[in-house]
Each structure stands twice: as structure tokens, then as C-alpha cells.
Structure 1
Amino acid sequence: MIMRVDKMIGNANLDTRKNIKRNAKKGALLINGEIIKDSSTKVDPNVDEVVYMGELVDYFDNIYIMMNKREGLICQSNELDGTVMQDLDDFYLNLDISIVGRLDKDTTGLLLMSTDGKFVHKLISPNSNIWKKYEVETSKKIDPSLVEIFRNGVYIKEDDYTARSAKLEILDERKAYVYVTEGRFHLVKRLFSNNNNEVIKLRRLAIGDLELDSSLNPGQYRELSKEELNLFI
């Protein structure tokens, strides 16, 4: 695998690309014992020895994590206490991990994290049109007319915009599946609140064709398999 040396160093969470470029020009980067001042130089992490700021750089592939988010934690990657990061082992806390689409403090279910910036951007971009599936429980009976209203796009009055078309699959009087392709703040809750109902329980079940692993208890996680990653290629 051939890659830029600054990406290799960045993946190891040793420094930012800006700092790597500056420090390389000062002679802080060695490749196979030779001082290299161009941080865009290509290397093979499995063959070349890279030393940055006196530290041997260990290469690893990007990390892709599926977590069953538990209630009461916020989705913030640069803090530990009170966030989903506190459920991760110390190994992952040393990596530059980003959260793929945030869930509210009281929302549970499928949460993805990764060190792969392109992967994260693809999944959160509305232009990717990737469906996110939620299970909702409401305070009032769900009016069947909402199926068509959601499909046509709900007007969100507090933000003065019309949401994208969403799918509503009613399960019983107060439970349903909701499918959306955008991740605006409290979107699923607002689809209902702008139609005189309230979401009292919300759980994300799937992102695209990737479903939450039913064997994961709240707060548990695992890395994605190659087959699961291929669902987003």
C-alpha cells in the first residue's frame, strides 16, 4: 500500500498535516534513515521505516466501529466524560476518531465511528442519499395521514425550511419506523412535533444496508467486517 507520509503520520495521531509539513522542512522527518523535507513523499508503510520527531511511526489501517449507543451520553469525540468516547477502550482514545452523524443524548442505537475522513463525509452528506432508519415511539397516536405528509416533506417552522422526503412505516398506534436521508438537528423529533405529536423514544436501527448488530448491548461496540464496509462502496 502506497500513501503520502504525512497521511501515515496523521493516521498515527502524532500531529496535524500542517505541523508535519513545517517540521519536515526543519529536518524532523526521516524515511529509511534519510532526512526528507517533503511531507508529501510517498511511502509503503509495510516496507519503509518512518521516524517523525524522533518517534518511530507505527502504521495501522483505518478503524471503523459500530456501537450500540446507550442513553445519557452525548456524541462528542474530543471529550471523554459524559460522551460515547468513555465506552471505548484506551487504544481507540489515542486515535483521531470522528463520529458518523450525531445522536441526541436520549437517543440510542446504531452509531458509527471511524478514522477515515472520506468514509465519514460520505455517510453524513445528504448528497449521498443514504437512508437512516429509526424506530420511534410517540406520545399520541400516529395519524395515518403522516405517511403522505412525510413523503412530501415536512415544513420545519422553527428553522423555516422544508425537510427532505421521509418514509414513515406505522407499526402500531404509537410506534413506527422512520427513514431519512439528512441529519439535521433533532430532525426525526421535529417531523413529529411539527405535526402535533411528540417522540418519547428514539432508536437508530440502520444506516443504508448496515443494520445494528443485535448482539451488542447498550454501550458495546465492535469493528466493522470487510463485508459490512463493502455495503458503502
Structure 2
Amino acid sequence: MKLDRFISNRTAHSRQAARLLIASGRVQVGGRVTHDPRHEVDQFVAISLDGELLQAREAHFLMLHKPIGYLSATRDLHHPTVMKLLPAALGEQLHIGGRLDRGSSGLLILTNDGLWSRRLTEPRIKLPKTYHVTTLRPISAETAERFAVGIYMTTEQLTTSPAQLQQLGPCEARLTIYEGRYHQIKRMFHAVGNQVAALHRESMGDIVLDQALLPGQYRALTAAEIASVDQPASASRSW
């Protein structure tokens, strides 16, 4: 948003009056006077007029090690949500970027920056998401080939993007997908005659679950992890 529009929206001043206020040096952005009414401001920069703070909102970017049994939701009447694992005052500000099923565990991202989280989950960007999968039956030799070609989803009437399957054992694999459709991994394995017994998300793009975090624990993302969402993520990773 342009600075003059912000001042006009947040005060009784017109857009023209806001421009005069800015030009006269009465507005500070991020602690510094700016004279440019067209200066672009975001929702987290501190903005003040004549010393009065009009906006001072802190950006939050967290990774949480989601335990099994918690819903990826802000509230629910019947099941505990991941927000219960955070201080109440913090949880009230956040939303989830890329949900996990109640029966799944692993990396969950929480933030109050809607633009950033949209980049994290936008299907067109095809951010790689990697999961450790345990199946009920042995994984067939053809599964990796089927996933690499794509699985047709009848509900959406589309074929999934090519996915990479690295088999770790008879019933264990590491799977990288590039979408996040409803129950996608469970439906992919169902399409090849198998069933998911356990699902654990290890990474989203270049953000990898911190192995020091126990289930239910969280930490702030590093500056590099936050910035990685604005850059093309690695499509492959050495494990």
C-alpha cells in the first residue's frame, strides 16, 4: 500500500492532506522520516505520525513439530488443535501454512503474514514437500513409476504433478510431492492398491523440520528459512 493511502485510511486526513503531512516530514516509517507519499509500506513496518504510532505489528514465522492427534485448525469443538501448543496470545495471531491431517505428524508452519504463506502453499509454484511414509502393505516396484507419471484424481479430474518416491524399506518410503491436495498422499497410495499407516512431513521447500524439536515443540524460523520461500526451492535434496 502507498504511504499516503495508509495515512488516509488510518486517520481522518484526506489523501491530499496525507501527502502534505508526509512531505513536511511528520511521518516516520521504520523509525525514519520519509518524504515520499508513494513509498510502499507493508503490514509489519512501524509507521507513526507526529510521534503517534499508527502501526506496529510484529511478523511471526514459526515451525512446529506437530504431534499425532492434533488438528491443523485454529479452533475445534471436539479435538485439540495445534494452537493449544502455543501461548494463547501468540496463537490468536497466527494461521497455518500447509495443513496436516489429525493422524499425521511433522513439520507445520504458522505465521501471521498472509502473503508469505500464500507463496508457501500456492500450487502453481510447486514447492516440494517431502514426507516419510509407512504403508500397511509392501510397496510395489511399480509404485515409483506410477507416482513419477502422476496419479489421476477423479474428484478434481486432474493428474497429480510427477512425484519422487525413494524406497527405504518394504513398507517405508520418502515421498516428495509438489501439491497439497486433500488427502493427496493417502489417495495416491490407494490408487496403487496400498494404504498409508503413518505419515510424517519432513520438509517444505528448503525449510526442514528441526530434529531438536520434540513433538509439540516449536521455534521461530531463521531469516534464511523465511527468505527461502521467496526463492525457487530445491527440487531435490540429499538425505
What does residue 49 of structure 1 align with? 48
Partner of 2:88: 90
Greater Cα offset, 153-162 or 117-126? 153-162
CA distance in structure 2 between the partners assigned to 1:7 and 1:202 by the alignment:
45
Q: How far did residue 61 of structure 1 move?
A: 3.5
- Aligned partners of 1:62, 1:4: CA distance in 2, in Å? 19
Q: Distance in 1 between matches of 2:223 and 2:122?
A: 22
Residue among 64, 67, 72 paired with 1:67: 64
- Which position in structure 2 is the counterpart of 1:232? 229
Contact preservation (8 Å) 2:66, 2:105 = yes
Instruction: Point out where structure 2 has 5 or more consecutive residues left out of the alignment.
Output: 33-46, 231-239
Asked if structure 2 preserves the Cα contact closer than 8 Å seen for 1:157 and 1:194, the reply is no
| Partner SS state of residue 91, structure 1 | helix
Give the CA RMSD over aligned residues.
Answer: 3.0
Equivalent residue in structure 2 for 1:36, among 10, 13, 16:
13
Q: Which residue of 2 aligns with 1:100?
A: 97
Relative to the length of structure 1, the TM-score reads 0.77
Residue-by-residue CA offset, 1:30-77 (whole Å, 9 max, x unaligned): xxxxx43559988514355369xxx96561342111000111111113
Aligned equivalent of 2:164: 167
Number of residue pairs matched? 206
Question: Does the residue aligned with 2:80 lie in a helix, a strand or coil?
Answer: coil
Deviations 1:137-161 (A, max 9, x none): 0000000111111000012345443
**Counterpart residue number, 2:123:** 126
Deviations 1:3-22 (A, max 9, x none): 758879xxxxxxxxxxx94x
Identity of aligned residues (%): 29
Moved over 4 A (4+): 2-8, 37-43, 55-58, 78-81
